[in-house]
Structure 1
C-alpha cells in the first residue's frame, strides 16, 4: 500500500491534533497505517470563538509535538496526495472546497459537509464536475459498538431506531449541525436512505428529531439538554430489542480514520453522496420545524 502524504486544511479544531496523533505517531496504541499528515494550512473563523480562541494552541501542538510544517494551498497541491478538510466552521466548507476541488485529490470533509442543503449540493456538484472523490461523516457513524451490531443484524429487518445524544449548540453553526449531527449520523448508519417525512417534538428533557422511512421504519434522535448523557441507540426488529451503548475502548477517531485511509486509497467513499445529502436535508428540516414553532 502506498504511504500517502496528507495535507490538512484547518487548525482550529481538536480533531486536527487528535488525527495527527493517530496517523503520525506509530507508537500510538490505535495508530492507523497508510499515511501521515505532512503539511497543514492554518485557518480559523474570526467570528466563531471556539475557532479563533483555540487555533494557536492547536497549531502549536501540530508543529511542536508532531513536527508538521505549515504550508499554503499551492504547496498542498504540489506535495500532498489527499486532503483532510478540518476547518471547524461548516459555513466555510463550500468556499474552502471550491479552492481545491480541481486538484482531483480525495478529500475528507469533517462534519458537517455544510450547514444547509444548497451548499451541500454545490459541494457534491463540484466534486462530480472535477472527478474529485469526497467523503464526509461524523466519527460516531463508525463507533465500534455500532458497527459491531450492524454486522450482526439484517438492516432491512429494523423497524424502529431511537438514538440518544447530547445537544450542544454553537450559535454560528445553527442548532443541530454542531452536535445533533452525531446522533443523526448514527441514525442513518442504521436505517440508510429513504426518509420520506420528518417531525420535531420538544420536551422538558430533549428535542426529538423524528423521521419515517419509505419501508415503514421509524427513527428518532433524542438530543438531550443534559450533555452528560452518553451516546446510545436502541434498535427494534419484529423479534427483538437491541440496546447499543457506545464506549471509547476504541477511540471514535481511530475507527473513522481507518475508513478515511481506505477511502484515500480507493477513492470510493463508504458513505454515498446521496446519503450525506439526505442527512443534511433531515437536519435542515428539523431546523426549519424548530424555527416555525418559535414564530
Structure 2
C-alpha cells in the first residue's frame, strides 16, 4: 500500500484525490487501488477537518513536515502556487516522491529551485495539468494527425489576471499545456490577448 500525504486542504483536489484512493467506491467510477491518503495538512483547520472526514483521511498533522516518515509520496495541492516551493522543499530533501499541483510555482526562480533540488536529491517530482488527458483533447489530437502538420492555431481557456492565486499562473497553465499537447514542442511564437 502506498501511503500518500496531502499538503493543502484549500483546493478541491485534496478532496478528490483522497476520495479516489480512500473511499471504497472511489468517485465517478474512478478508484485507485493500493494507495491511501494517510495524512493531511492545511492552513485552515476547519477546512482540513472537512476534507479529512469526507476523504476518510486518518490523520491531520500540525505541520507538513510531520508527515515525513509516515508517507511514501506527497501531493502539494495548495491553491496558491506561490507556496509550492516552500511546502514541497522538505519532502524533496527527504527523498519523498512529490506531485506538485499546477502551477509548479509562480516564481521562475522558485520553479528552478524545485527542479534543481529534485535533481540534487534524486527525488522524483511531477507537476502538470490533467487536461491533456481529457477524452475530447485526445480525440481532437488524433483527428488532427490525419490533417498534416499544423502551422497555426488558437487555444482559449480561463486565465484571470486578477486572480488572488497569483493571477494568470493559476489557470494559465492549462492553456499552455494544451498548446504543448496539441502543437508539440516546436512552437515558435505565442501571443496572449
Give the SS at the match of 1:166: coil
**Map of 2:80 onto structure 1:** 89
Query: 2: distance between equivalents of 1:186 and 1:58?
Result: 31
Give me the whole-angstrom Cα distance separating, in 1, the residues matched to 2:117 and 2:30: 34
Determine the C-alpha separation between the residues in 2 that align with 1:101 and 1:164.
34
Equivalent residue, structure 2, for 1:77: 68
CA RMSD of aligned residues (A): 2.3
Structure 1 moving runs of 4+ over 6 Å: none
Name the residue aligned to 1:39.
39
Q: What pairs with 1:163-178 in structure 2 (closer than 5 Å)?
A: 163-178=155-170
Higher strand proportion, which one? Answer: 1
In 2: Cα distance, 1:40 partner to 1:21 partner: 13
Post-superposition shift, 1:110?
0.2
TM-score (ref. length: structure 1): 0.57
Cα gap change, 1:9 to 1:189, in 2 (>3 Å)? same
Q: Which residue of 1 aligns with 2:8?
A: 10
Which structure is larger by alpha-carbon Rg, 1 or 2? 1
Q: Structure 1 175/34 Cα, relative in aligned 2: closer, same or farther at 3 Å?
A: same
Q: Alpha-carbon deviation of 1:5?
A: 0.6
Q: 2:55 aligns with which of 66, 70, 81?
A: 66
Aligned residues: 188
Q: Which of 82, 99, 104 in structure 2 is aligned with 1:113?
A: 104
Q: TM-score under structure 2 normalisation?
A: 0.84
Is residue 180 from structure 1 mapped to residue 172 from structure 2 by the alignment?
Answer: yes
* Whole-angstrom distance in 2 between the partners of 1:195 and 1:158: 10
Which residue is equivalent to 2:186? 194
Does the 8 Å CA contact 1:40/1:70 hold for their aligned counterparts?
A: yes
- 8 Å contact 1:106–1:132 — kept in the other structure? yes
The Cα offsets for residues 161-204 of structure 1, whole Å up to 9 and x where unpaired, read as: 3222123345443332112221222111222323343333xxxx
Q: 1:65 to 1:161 in 2, by over 3 A?
A: same
Q: Secondary structure at the match of 2:156?
A: strand
